Amino acid sequence: MNIIGLDALVFGVDDIPACGACLSDYGLTPVEVDGNGGRFEALDGTAIVIRRADDPALPPAIGPAPSIRETVYGVASAADLDAIGHELSRDRTVTWDNEGALHSVDDSGFAIAFQVSVRRDFSAAPDLTNSPGTAPQRPINQLGIFPDMPAVPRTLSHVVYFVPDAVKAEAFYAERLRFKTTDRFDRVGPFMRPQGSDEHHCLFMIQTPAHMQGCEHFTFHLGSGTEVLIAGKRLEQKGWTSFWGPGRHLFGSNWFWYFNSPLGCHIEYDADMDRHDDAWAAREAPISADSSQLFLFTSRENWSPGGPPPKSVEQG
C-alpha cells in the first residue's frame, strides 16, 4: 500500500465564483473551470476540486454545504490500488470509476478515494540562505528577496478533519491503510503520514462533537518561510482575512499562515515540514498555545520609520 499522499480534495460548495476566486488568489491554477466548478492545481498537479453542492456525482455530504466531499490519495502503482481495494472490500463498499480510481469511505464517514498519483515533476527556485558559519548558498549579487518574487503552491500538503472519535479514526488509518502516527495531541488526535511518504503528516484529526464533523483546513507547501510570508501578505491585500498566523508549528516544524475561506474551512500556506522514517518515536503533548506553535506573529500594514504607527490587521 504505497500511498504517497494527497492528490486532491473535493468540495461541494454553494458559491462557485467566490470559491474559484479564493483558490485563484491563493495561487492555484484554474483548469477547466465553469459554472459547475472545476479543478485548481499546484505546480505538481495536486489540486482542490470544487463542484456544486447539489451535484449528484458527489459522495454524500457529512454536513451542510459548503463542505469537503471526498479526499483523494495518490498511490505509486495499480498494484497498490488492488491491495487497497482488497483490504477495504472486506467490510465496506468499494467502487471503481471509469478512470480507474477506487472509492470508499473511512470509519468516520469521510469519503476517500485512491488513484495512481497525478503528481508530476516541476521546477521551482530553491530557498538559498547565507548564514555565518556555513558556506554561502546564494551567489554574489543574487538577491534573496524582491517585490515580485514567485510564491505559489507547489504541492498539496495535508488535510485536517474534525472527527467524533479520534481513537477509532486513527485505528482505521493505521490498521487498514498502514499510516504511521508521528505525533499526537493528548485527548485531541494524531498527526499521521502514509507509508509512501516521509513527511511529518498529510492527515491530522481533531476530536470534536459529532455535529462539528468536517474539514478544519487544508494546506499546500510553499518553498520557504519567506514564501509563506509573501504569499500570505498578497492574499491579505486581495481582501482575504487572516485567521491564524503567520507563525511556526512545533509538531512538524512547518511555517504556517491560515485564512478564512468560502469553502467551509480554513486554508493555510505552509513550508519546511519535518521528515521522519519508521525509527521516529511519536511525541505526545497536551494541546495549548505553547504546544501548537513555537512563535506567532501578528500581521500589520506596511510601515516605515517616521510614519504614523501601523494599524493592526483585523484577525478573523
CB under 8 Å to 10, separation ≥6 — which residues? 49, 50, 51, 58, 68, 69, 70, 71, 72
CB under 8 Å to 104, separation ≥6 — which residues? 88, 92, 93, 94, 95, 111, 112, 113
Q: For residue 92, what is its C-alpha cell?
A: 465496506
Q: Give the Cβ contact number of residue 246 at 10 Å.
A: 22
Per-residue pLDDT reduced to its tens digit, 231-286? 999 999 999 999 999 999 999 999 999 999 999 999 999 999 999 999 999 999 99
Its pTM stands at 0.95
Going along the chain from its start, the domains and CATH numbers come out as 3-120+152-296 (3.10.180.10)
Chunked in runs of 10, what are the mean pLDDT values of the chain (316 residues)?
A: 96 98 98 97 98 97 96 98 98 97 98 98 94 95 95 98 98 98 97 98 97 97 98 97 97 98 98 98 95 90 79 48
Q: For residue 283, what is its C-alpha cell?
A: 511525541
What was the pLDDT predicted at 316? 37
What was the pLDDT predicted at 311? 66
What was the pLDDT predicted at 305? 84
Cis peptide before 246 (omega within 30 of 0): yes
- Pairing mode of beta strands 189-193, 180-185: antiparallel
Inter-residue contact 137 to 224 (CB < 8 Å): no
